[in-house]
Chain A
């Protein structure tokens, strides 16, 4: 009697393994090609309605695996076998590393019928190129700039230095992020935010700024709590979250000040060694199409790279969400950072936070 449960246990495990193996093959078993994508979770490109429409149109199956961070994506690309991943979604801080390591396939933009509709800024974005050839296609972008409480601040701030202004002492919130902190301080100290030369001036500015803060925020939720409690006049904020808070009726406005702010871009790349090249092109073309970009941007998504989609968005909403061309042209887009720069910036930010 004693042995019996063990034997049936082994049988059960074996059957389970068999079932898992079967499930693993199911994608190709019915003859449909499978498009493997490394994606952000809940980020438009994995919306069930879109996935169903694309699968129907091209007779394929989409399998998303989600990344936890940009670094995580880079690791996934470096450790996967050719053909395991078809498409991925890097931003500019890791793109250069991915291209230089030969992880991404060259892209023939002539095969994307919607590429011509992109803003010039994105058609010529240098991070997606190496030696004049394309290795990724810009998809959506956004700004990290200044949000303010319209009940407490009447004039829209015209400079990033409002976040360093003693007049708002105790009613400011700065982002707890080394990249955003240093880029903002570089703008205020009149340096190139992507390669500042005087790190000492940045450190001093940030240490002086520190005591003006109500708090540093890290997650969007922390910001919302402070803001809705009426504890903030001005703050560093993301365009997308400010726009959706405004839609919910909060007295919030968002502005990209005249001296600039921080911009980010997410890009689609085709992974070197893909066996689904045509499908991958079709996917990217769909992603940058006017219809897809308009639908997502006007329903709370980030800003579109497609000019026709941007023009179609309600101008008032576009301005509130800083997805208009005027805002776009004022942004300093985050560029590739080497590990060494990341370490140096992170250490400076640690020193600021440790200062008394």
Chain B
């Protein structure tokens, strides 16, 4: 039965091949093309990227953004997911809906809401000022912190949901057994809960870190003069100067970084669950 139904995957597979794999190879071809007509195969686009120091510092700055966003998302999501999975009963679905709401919001609307919220004289500043925490302009908009806030809001649901699913599968009997054998709550968490939720954490980290590398809308709108990321460079190449070849090369460098992080994070998740 299982053998015979394999053809059911055909429609899905052909969509992937036609709309994802084939264009990917077209882009790969462009990335090895010279800019002058008839230049043929060349590595120039790649060497150009690695020769210029500012492309590398831009890449590092983009990676740092992603790391901060991932860490903040983890710090926010784990406790939330734990409470949802182990403490809440009926309210669970309500919280889940609240987490998913950012998905239903248009990206630009979300970013502009943050712009209005964070700007000097904005809602956030007034709220802090009214309880006497700040005095004068907040200066938060157009900083890296603003970018991280905007990106965490966009991506933390992936983290919260994957961790929640891992924790929900965790059998409560294990926790009760641990307690009955005299383990403190902290030891139970460290020895039982944390290791068993590790695959969920690894998947969540991957789902936040990787898309963060390619975003350019949040950094550009919330990041101010220092809001340039590697995604912006790709966008400029494609839309402003029709530099498809160089743009494609940067896109593949980014893809290589993504593949490296995917393999690293999935090893993290697998390694632990095997123990």
Contact of B119 among A213, A229, A339 (CB under 8 A): A229
A350-B233, A354-B57 known; A213 vs B225 contact (CB < 8 Å): yes
Distance in Å: Cβ of B237 to nearest Cβ of chain A: 8
CB <8 Å contact, A211 and B225: yes
Residues B242 and A346 in contact, CB atoms below 8 Å apart: no
Complex Cα gap A231–B115 (Å): 14
Q: Provide the bound-state CA to CA distance between A214 and B225, in Å.
A: 8
Q: What 0/1 readout, one digit per residue, does chain B (48-74) give for beta carbons within 8 Å of chain A?
A: 000010110110010000000000000
Assembly CA distance A16 to B242 (angstroms): 36
A283 within 8 A of partner (CB): no
Is A178 an interface residue when CB atoms closer than 8 A count as contact? yes
Interface contacts (Cβ under 8 Å), in number, total 56
Pick 29 A–B contacts, CB within 8 A, sort by A: A178-B240, A210-B225, A213-B225, A214-B224, A215-B142, A215-B225, A222-B221, A339-B242, A340-B35, A342-B241, A346-B236, A346-B237, A346-B240, A346-B241, A347-B52, A350-B54, A350-B55, A350-B58, A350-B233, A350-B236, A351-B52, A353-B228, A353-B232, A354-B54, A354-B57, A354-B58, A354-B61, A355-B54, A356-B57
A71 at the interface (CB under 8 A from B): yes
- Measured between beta carbons, the chain A residues less than 8 angstroms from B232 are 353
Please give me the residue from chain A that is nearest to B58 by CB atom: A354
Question: Which residues of chain B from 118 to 144 have a CB within 8 Å of any chain A CB?
Answer: 119-121, 142
Inter-chain CA distance A176–B39, complex, in Å, is 32
Chain B contact patch, size range: 20 to 34
Q: Which residues does chain A contribute within 8 Å of B120, judged by CB atoms?
A: 231
Identify the closest chain A residue to B237 (Cβ): A346
Judge if A296 is at the interface, Cβ distance under 8 Å.
Answer: no
Closest chain B residue to A216, Cβ basis = B225
Task: Check if B225 sits within 8 Å of A354, measured CB to CB.
Answer: no
**How far is B250's CA from A347's CA once the two chains are assembled, in angstroms?**
13
Among candidates B57, B58, B121, B225, residue contacting A229 with C-beta atoms closer than 8 Å: B121
Of A69, A231, A346, the residue contacting B243 (CB under 8 A) is A346
Q: How far is the CB of A341 from chain B (nearest CB, A)?
A: 10
A343 located at the interface, meaning its Cβ lies under 8 Å from any Cβ of chain B in the complex: yes
Identify the B interface with A (CB < 8 A). Answer: 35, 52, 54-55, 57-58, 61, 115, 119-121, 142, 220-221, 224-226, 228, 232-233, 236-237, 239-243, 246
Are the C-beta atoms of B228 and A343 separated by less than 8 Å? no
Q: Using a CB-CB cutoff of 8 Å, which residues 326-356 of chain A contact chain B? A: 339-340, 342-343, 346-347, 350-351, 353-356
Contact pattern, A 212-245, Cβ under 8 Å of B = 1, otherwise 0: 0111101000100100010100000000000000
Nearest A residue to B239 by beta-carbon distance? Answer: A69
Query: Which residues from 134 to 173 on chain A have a C-beta closer than 8 Å to any C-beta of chain B?
Result: none
Task: Out of A211, A339, A354, name the residue touching B228 (CB < 8 Å).
Answer: A354
A88 to B111: give the CA distance in the assembly, Å. 37
A336 to chain B, nearest CB (A): 14
Interface centre among B61, B142, B225, B237 (most CB of A within 10 A): B225
Q: How many chain A residues have a CB neighbour from B under 8 Å?
A: 26
User: Which residues of the partner chain B approach A214 to less than 8 Å between Cβ atoms?
Assistant: 142, 224
Query: From residue A348, how far is it (CB to closest CB) to chain B in Å?
Result: 10
How many Å lie between the Cα of A3 and that of B54 in the bound state? 62
Candidates B52, B121, B243; contact of A343 at CB < 8 Å: B243
Contacts of A215 in B (CB 8 A): 142, 224-225
Chain B residue contacts of A69, Cβ below 8 A = 239
Are B225 and A343 in touch, CB under 8 angstroms?
no
Which residues of chain A come closer than 8 Å to B220, judged between CB atoms?
Answer: 218
**Which A190-228 residues sit within 8 Å CB-CB of chain B?**
210-211, 213-216, 218, 222, 225
Known: A229-B121, A351-B54. A356 touches B226 (CB 8 A): yes
Within the assembled complex, what's the spacing in Å between the Cα atoms of A353 and B246?
A: 18
Which residues of the other chain, A, contact B121 by a CB distance below 8 angstroms? 229
Q: Is the CB of B228 within 8 A of A350?
A: yes
On chain B, the residues within 8 Å of A225 by CB distance are 115
The residue in chain B whose Cβ has the minimal distance to the Cβ of A209 is B225
Q: How far is the CA of A356 from the CA of B55 in the complex (A)?
A: 13
Q: Closest Cβ of chain A: how far from B245's Cβ, in Å?
A: 10
CB distance from A171 to the nearest CB of B (A): 12
Name the one of B115, B225, B243 contacting A353, with C-beta atoms under 8 angstroms.
B225
In this complex, what residue of A is CB-closest to B243? A343
What separation, in Å, do the CA atoms of A342 and B242 have in the docked complex? Answer: 10
Given contacts A215-B225, A343-B35, A354-B57, 10 further A-B contacts (CB under 8 A): A210-B225, A213-B225, A214-B224, A222-B221, A225-B115, A346-B236, A346-B240, A346-B241, A347-B52, A351-B54
Least Cβ–Cβ distance between A349 and chain B, in angstroms? 8
The CA-CA distance from A343 to B240 in the complex, in Å, is 10
The answer for the CA separation of A71 and B221 in the assembled complex, in Å, is 25
| Residues on the A chain within 8 Å of B55, using CB | 350, 354
A216 to B115, CA, bound (A): 14
Query: Of residues A69, A342, A343, A356, which shows the largest number of chain B Cβ atoms within 10 Å of its Cβ?
Result: A343
- Docked Cα-Cα span, A229 to B226, in Å, equals 21
Closest residue of B by beta carbon distance from A173: B225
Which interface residue of A71, A211, A342, A351 has the most chain B CB atoms within 10 A? Answer: A351
**Looking across the interface, which residue of chain A has its beta carbon closest to that of B240?**
A346
